[in-house]
């Protein structure tokens, strides 16, 4: 018997024994997708949009259901083969629990479950492909591409945003094509998963041909070559960095994005689930000397971020910091020169998309912290409103926040080597 079928039967038994568990899983998945729609509607990024992934929420489903993450992993390993599990995407617990829920939803005819689980998969695949090909995506260039350059045959011409494309086009098509196969044979979940990747990948590039001059594969179709052409022809004053691999992309190129997601999730959980943090006095004094922010304010800020209500903002900040410092492996964070990198590309660098995003997210988080939580060591509210500080002072306070996040990052990733 298929090991995935065994996991399905365990899931079925849990859900049938207590309908509240299935209802909670349904509510969580619905919330993830609903949040994505709300964020998409509030954004003007168009096809430059990047989803805020519910990494911690999806992984929490293992605990909600009461199913062992290792057992699920081993089930896929036995059914798909050890070779497949050497690939970061296939072995990612985020995808594995969602694929199991997709299988359950298809067999049990729970459409809301399998479609929302599929959306959570596709959103992460979208992020990985978008970051891979067009890291710094200029929304004006992309809007020109989508409006004037894509053909009517291209799927993006029919939908005004990535979330509509995924939800209204890819989910129903993938379900119709692969749903019947999966019901007959759970091994076909692997085929469905790989098709999710392939179809999103083709949105950005397809029909690669070798350039006889450079010797590299270059896409002949998709958003990537059109975006590069629009940029080259001066359709916008921006100059984003467009990156493309030497070879036609495959699952192996997912590794960097996967590692960053893993680090981001681990650090976010460490910060937000540790309500009683301990920061050395030497660290507080060094921040005071570097940034000229009062020690009492530094302590209050660093204590306040240890709250689950800030998890999404902290997740986003960690994610952008990793992107800006070009982290591709955990060891990059632990290098002795990482602090110098942070100072060079974040603290001292101003005019680039990542640092502007860090500034924007930091302002949002700090405003919330100052308005709702900031108290001195005696528990008395600090009356200063964040917006009332001068921009020079706000810069220094943002630096405290960034360094505090990196301190926690290095503490959990580097086993105590937490200096910045």
- Compute the average pLDDT of residues 157-163: 88
Of 289, 281, 303, 309, the closest CA to residue 382 belongs to: 303
- In terms of pTM, does the model score above 0.75? no
Contacts of 178 (CB under 8 A, 6+ apart): 188, 191, 192, 195
Give the span between the Cα atoms of 333 and 342, in whole angstroms. 10
Contact yes or no for 311/272 (Cβ under 8 A): yes
Place of tokens 């912290």: 369
Residue 77 CA to residue 316 CA, distance in Å, equals 31
3-state secondary structure of 375: strand
DSSP H or E segment with residue 220 = strand 217-221
Separation between Cα atoms, residue 232 and residue 315, nearest integer Å: 34
pLDDT over 80 at 152, yes or no: no
The rounded distance, in Å, linking the Cα atoms of 380 and 383 is 9
Residue 254, pLDDT score: 58
Give the tens place of pLDDT for each residue, 257-287. 667 778 888 898 889 888 888 899 999 999 9
Q: What is the dihedral of CA 252, 257, 259, 262, to 10 degrees?
A: -130
* pLDDT one-digit tens code per residue, 294-351: 999 999 899 999 988 888 789 889 988 998 898 888 899 999 899 999 999 998 877 7
Distance CA 133, CA 224 (A): 7
pLDDT in tens, 179-226: 999 999 988 999 999 999 999 988 888 655 555 555 555 555 678 888
Residue 210, strand partner residues: 217
pLDDT of residue 180: 94
DSSP 382: P
Q: Of 328, 319, 334, 321, nearest to 261 (Cα)? A: 319
* Other CB atoms within 10 Å distance of the CB of residue 328: 12
The predicted pLDDT at position 143 comes to 87
Residue 238 has pLDDT above 70, yes or no: no
> In this structure, are strands 206-210 and 217-221 parallel, antiparallel, or unpaired?
antiparallel
- What confidence score (pLDDT) does residue 174 get? 95
CB contact burial 241-274 (16+ within 10 A = b; e otherwise): ebebeeeebebebbebbbbbbbbbbbbbbbbbee
Cβ contact 201:115 at 8 Å: no
* Residue for token pair 């902290």: 314
Sorted by sequence, the CB contacts under 8 Å of residue 321 that are 6+ apart come out as 342, 346, 358, 402, 405, 406, 409
Tokens of 177: 């094509």
pLDDT-based confidence at residue 96 (cuts at 50, 70, 90): very high
**379, two tokens:** 């528990």
Candidates 123, 95, 102, 143; CA nearest to 35 is: 123
* DSSP secondary structure of 95-129: HHHHHHHHHHHHHTT-HHHHHHHHHHHHHHHHHHH
String of b and e for 370-384 (b: at least 16 CB within 10 Å)? beebbeeeeeeebee
Give start and end residues of each alpha helix (H) in 279-375: 281-291, 295-304, 311-324, 330-334, 338-342, 353-372
Residue 14 has pLDDT above 80, yes or no: yes
Q: Find the mean pLDDT for residues 229-240.
A: 58
């Amino acid at each position: 018997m298929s090991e995935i079928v065994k996991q399905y039967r365990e899931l079925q038994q849990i859900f049938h024994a207590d309908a509240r568990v299935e209802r909670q899983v349904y509510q969580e998945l619905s919330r993830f997708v609903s949040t994505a729609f709300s964020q998409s509607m509030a954004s003007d990024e168009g096809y430059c949009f990047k989803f805020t992934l519910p990494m911690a929420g999806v992984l929490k489903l293992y605990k909600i259901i009461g199913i062992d993450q290792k057992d699920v992993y081993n089930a896929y390993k036995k059914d798909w083969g050890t070779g497949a599990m050497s690939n970061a995407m296939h072995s990612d617990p985020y995808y594995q629990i969602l694929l199991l829920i997709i299988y359950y939803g298809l067999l049990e005819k729970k459409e809301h479950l399998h479609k929302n689980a599929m959306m959570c998969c596709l959103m992460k695949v979208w992020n990985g492909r978008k970051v891979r090909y067009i890291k710094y995506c200029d929304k004006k260039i992309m809007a020109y591409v989508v409006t004037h350059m894509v053909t009517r045959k291209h799927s993006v011409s029919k939908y005004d945003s990535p979330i509509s494309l995924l939800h209204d086009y890819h989910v129903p098509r993938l379900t119709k094509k692969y749903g019947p196969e999966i019901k007959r044979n759970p091994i076909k979940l692997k085929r469905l998963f790989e098709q999710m990747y392939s179809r999103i990948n083709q949105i950005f590039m397809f029909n690669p041909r070798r350039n006889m001059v450079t010797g590299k594969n270059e896409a002949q179709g998709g958003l990537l070559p059109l975006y590069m052409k629009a940029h080259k022809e001066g359709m916008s004053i921006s100059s984003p960095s467009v990156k493309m691999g030497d070879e036609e992309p495959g699952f192996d190129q997912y590794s960097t994005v996967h590692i960053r997601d893993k680090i981001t999730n681990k650090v976010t959980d460490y910060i937000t689930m540790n309500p009683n943090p301990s920061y050395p006095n030497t660290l507080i004094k060094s921040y005071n000397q570097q940034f000229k922010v009062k020690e009492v304010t530094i302590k209050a800020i660093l204590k306040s971020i240890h709250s689950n209500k800030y998890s999404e903002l902290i997740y986003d900040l960690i994610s952008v910091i990793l992107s800006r410092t070009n982290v591709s492996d955990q060891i990059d964070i632990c290098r002795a020169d990482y602090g110098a990198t942070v100072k060079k590309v974040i603290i001292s660098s101003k005019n680039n998309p990542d640092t502007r995003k860090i500034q924007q997210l930091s302002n949002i988080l700090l405003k919330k912290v100052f308005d709702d939580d900031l108290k001195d060591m005696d528990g008395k509210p600090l009356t200063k409103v964040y917006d009332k500080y001068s921009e020079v002072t706000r810069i220094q306070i943002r630096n405290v926040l960034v360094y505090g996040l990196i301190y926690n990052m290095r503490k959990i990733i580097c086993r105590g080597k937490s200096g910045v």
